[in-house]
Amino acid sequence: MQQFQKRMHNTLITIAGLALLAFSAFVFASPEGKPSFAPEVPHPTNGTTECVEPEDDMKKNHMNYLLHQRDETMHEGIRTKQYSLKECINCHVPKDSTARFGDNQHFCSSCHNFAAVSIDCFQCHMDRPMNKEASGSKALGKNPHGAQMSKPVSTKIASTSADATSTQGSKQ
């Protein structure tokens, strides 16, 4: 009787093991050999095939690269593009994309939604490439610091109805 129980026990373990194997084969092995329940992260649509670092490295360390770059840009004015958030977006989010951060189709949120990692980058930063033509920055770098830009200057003193020390401008 004891021997029978032991045999049953072994059989159960074997069946459980096989079932687990079959399940993992079903779950983890998609045709591309990727975990099938992991999100499909959109790849760049501009023909770029390689990221600024190997994909595995980026998966693991992108937050560190971004944090480091953030401080360098903000405090030291270093504006290299390699680890810039703006360049991530310019490359990974198609120009005509309607996906916004939070949607599963958006490059960043596709994975962040899955991993349940909240980020607040896009409360301030743009989650899509900017339409440069619509930008107000029309003359970036076209007016060098030293150049005297003044056209023939005419001093216009328009009359004003301000009757006391007053503030005008956008707060009117």
Partner 1 sequence: MSCKDVNVSRRSFVGQTATAAAALTVAPGVFLHTVAEAKPADQAVTSDVRWGMLIDTAKCASGCTACVSACNTENGIASHNRPRTDQQWIRKVTLRDKQTRHEISLPMMCQHCESPPCVDVCPTGASFKRDDGIVLVDRHICIGCRYCMMACPYKARSFAHETVDNTVDYVPRGKGTVESCTMCVHRVDEGGTPACVEACSEAEHGAMIFGDIKNPNSEISKQLVEHGGKQIRADLGLNTGVRYRGI
- Should residue 98 be labelled a site residue for partner 1 when binding is judged by CB under 8 A? no
User: What is the distance between the alpha carbons of residues 50 and 43, in angstroms, rounded to a whole number?
Assistant: 10
Stretch that binds partner 1, among 7-15, 47-55, 107-115, 164-172 (CB under 8 A): 164-172
Of 47, 50, 56, 75, the one binding partner 1 (CB under 8 A) is: 75
Minimum CB separation of residue 69 from partner 1 in Å reads 11
Task: Report the alpha-carbon distance of residue 147 to residue 104 in Å, rounded.
Answer: 48
What's the chain's Rg over C-alpha atoms?
Answer: 29
Tell whether residue 118 is a contact of partner 1 (CB under 8 A): no
Among the listed residues 66, 102, 104, the one whose alpha carbon sits nearest the alpha carbon of residue 86: 66
Residue 103: C-alpha distances to residues 106, 114, 136 (Å)? 6, 11, 28
Q: How many CB atoms lie within 10 A of CB 32?
A: 7
Does 137 interact with partner 1 (rule: CB under 8 A)? Answer: yes
Site track 1-40 with partner 1 (rule: CB under 8 A), x = hit: ----------------------------------------
Q: Is 141 in the site for partner 1 (CB under 8 A)?
A: yes
77, 115, 118, 133: which one contacts partner 1 (CB under 8 A)? 77
Q: Is 78 in the site for partner 1 (CB under 8 A)?
A: yes
| Rounded Cα–Cα distance for residues 7 and 1 (Å) | 10
Residue 66's nearest CA partner among 112, 131, 114 is 112
Binding site for partner 1 (CB under 8 A): 70, 72, 74-81, 86, 89, 123-126, 129-130, 135-137, 139-160, 162-172
